[in-house]
Structure 1
Amino acid sequence: MPEVEAAAEVEGGVAEVAAEEATPEDEPGEAEPESGQLAEREGQHGDAGGQHGDGEGQLADGEGQLADADGQEAEAEQDGEDAELVALQSRMPDLTEPAALESALEALLLVVDSPASEESLAEAVEQPVDRVTEAFKTMSARFTEHGSGIDLRRVGEGWRFFTRDTYAPFVEKLLLDGQRSKLTRAALETLAVIAYRQPVTRARVAAVRGVNVDGVIRTLLARGLIEETGTDPETGGNLYVTTELFLERLGLPSLNDLPPIAPLLPEVDAIDDI
């Protein structure tokens, strides 16, 4: 009997070992939670990807709205500029009318420093050159007929307003009243350039001095110290020379008796290179 019990114990131990070895394969329930967790994480990752896609879509929508706003603003600005241009054009006079064209030409001549050509003025008023030429002739004749103090003359290749000689004494009185005692430094320098380089144009005098000399030239003309003597064949500008009064005021018999300072001034031919 002891042998039978021993055999039974051996069989029981073998069965227990077999049961222990089979347990890992026969317990799928423990692996299932791990698979579920993996699936859950994959689902969460998918949700995050979807949210990221939604964010990119919202960003694209925002950029599109911003582009639309910029386009609307640019369109509004263009509409405003067009409206201003239309309003300006509506206020401009109709230069196809002779009176309006003459008024426009008068305004232009008041701001030029030298005779203005018919071509440049025609371009400014956007009218044919022939119309501008005819308008100037009409204006000049009207000023003369009415005895106007303004004299419109064609000088060289252009037109310019001048003071009519009849009223020169009044102009002289206005410009020179209380100023006859002495000339300004600017006037003396301008007079020196004319004296030593005469005949010379206003533009070349200005080139030597490096400043505008229109006002000074008018003063010297009004005082009788210089005068016009024809026009420059190249530029059409008026040429200026000194007068007998100039020599009288300096106490000189002729220009040959001027002090020898001419070498200090550049030659007329070289003035254009300054």
Structure 2
Amino acid sequence: MSEPAGLDLKPALEAMLMVVDEPATEEHLARLLERPRRQVADALRELADEYTAQGRGFELRFVAGGWRFYTRAAYAPAVERLVLDGQTARLTQAALETLAVVAYRQPVSRSRVSAVRGVNCDGVMRTLLQRGLVEEAGTEPETGAILYRTTNYFLERMGLRGLDELPELAPFLPEAEAIEAETQEGVPSFDPDAPDAPGGQDADD
């Protein structure tokens, strides 16, 4: 069996990136292949440029701190037909809106998300948690409410290197504190295992 250091670098990188389930960092790939990180980084960028120049249906992108293969955007209609045929894989409008509030206000409590959207978000938050797009991020000192933030998987799915690449939409989101000040009662605490409450809540199933 050949030692990693004896393998051709670019084909080795291609083979490894074909099986990763999340972006692989240059440091990790370099350690596994027993090569200098700079050599691996240069090879990855060369591969990415080669795929673009050849007009391949896939591309190699640096996302969420690592490298991973993605289908090229121009061929999205074909991929969507394959992936979504007979399935309900897309997030609902309610889930997308809730995810946007978390992304721009994070870390944020579920009650503040509900205040911004004006509707109870229990069911939608549960869906986002289950899909790995948001995660718990500690508790709010003043109230003890659980705070939520987006995950690396969110960055990966959105094709972002980091949160600083989010579009400038935050100024259009109303301040949750101002909305909550107008309400007489807080929103019930979020229990991920509790059944959805009837009425006044988004459905995302």
> What is the TM-score of this pair, normalised by structure 1?
0.38
* Larger Cα-atom Rg: 1
> What is the TM-score of this pair, normalised by structure 2?
0.49
Larger % of helix: which?
Answer: 1
Q: Which has the higher contact order (CA 8 A, sep 6+)?
A: 2
